[in-house]
Chain A
């Protein structure tokens, strides 16, 4: 059997495995977008992440990125900017790691009295429901 012939026999299996795996992964995202009870909405999932301790690693790392965007777009200004600040200090879209530079920029745009790192660190502890 030549090499080309053996490759010709193997590639349909390889293709079936790769396509199957990818479709399976995509199906999770599709079912998450379509499904959802009242307690399993983007708002509820973001709420669940927020009620966790700010110091603990985020239990929803990578899962709620889309939910954070959905909640953000449902808010009007200036709440949306404050929500962005909450997301930055709690690291909701960053696996729980605070983005202090972004937080400082948002805080300054809000023209709040204090936007220093110490104040933002204390704010993180208070960014709970």
Chain B
């Protein structure tokens, strides 16, 4: 009788263990696939993931936000983005220059963009980047190149 009970308890324990593994494997499958996709990125891509939500929020504000929202976002971006991330800082300065209505203010922020990202000291390159940003903006102000880039001002 006791031997039969032991056998039964063993059977129940084995079934419990198999069900536990099955439940774990089934629930973990999509999560594991997702983790594997993240792991397959290179180091630079993986470390950039953490800033992606912030960048997406900034891009959404740039696309559709009011002038006030854009100015607030750009100030926050310049506080948040480290100096080492030259591309992101330069983009913030270019956006500032696009929505600035004062040509002197535009010159000052485009110069800051050039300081952050030396490739933007080339006027043609700066205009190309600014044009791309104006296309990304869906509302005024900021859908057109600023006067400073359209007129014959010297390179920053």
Please classify the interface of chain A as helix (H, G, I), strand (E, B), loop, or mixed, using the class held by over half of its residues.
Answer: helix
Kindly list chain B residues whose C-beta atoms are within 8 Å of the C-beta of A60.
34
User: Would you call B60 an interface residue if the criterion is a C-beta within 8 Å of the partner chain's C-beta atoms?
Assistant: yes
Query: Between A and B, how many residue pairs show CB distances below 8 Å?
Result: 167
The distance in angstroms between the C-alpha atoms of A63 and B31, with both chains bound, is 6
B53 contact from A47, A107, A114, A123, Cβ within 8 A:
A47
* Residue count of chain A within 8 Å CB distance of chain B: 55
Kindly list chain A residues whose C-beta atoms are within 8 Å of the C-beta of B18.
17, 20
B60 contact from A29, A59, A82, Cβ within 8 A:
A82
Kindly list chain A residues whose C-beta atoms are within 8 Å of the C-beta of B24.
24-25, 27-28
A16 contact from B12, B34, B66, B136, Cβ within 8 A:
B12
Contacts beyond the supplied A25-B26, A127-B60: 17 A-B pairs with Cβ under 8 Å: A21-B20, A24-B21, A24-B27, A25-B23, A39-B50, A41-B50, A44-B38, A47-B49, A47-B50, A47-B51, A59-B33, A107-B64, A113-B140, A114-B138, A126-B60, A126-B138, A129-B53
Query: What is A's interface to B at a CB cutoff of 8 Å?
Result: 12-13, 16-25, 27-29, 32, 38-41, 43-48, 50-51, 59-60, 62-64, 71, 75, 78-79, 82-83, 85-86, 107, 110-114, 119-120, 122-123, 126-129
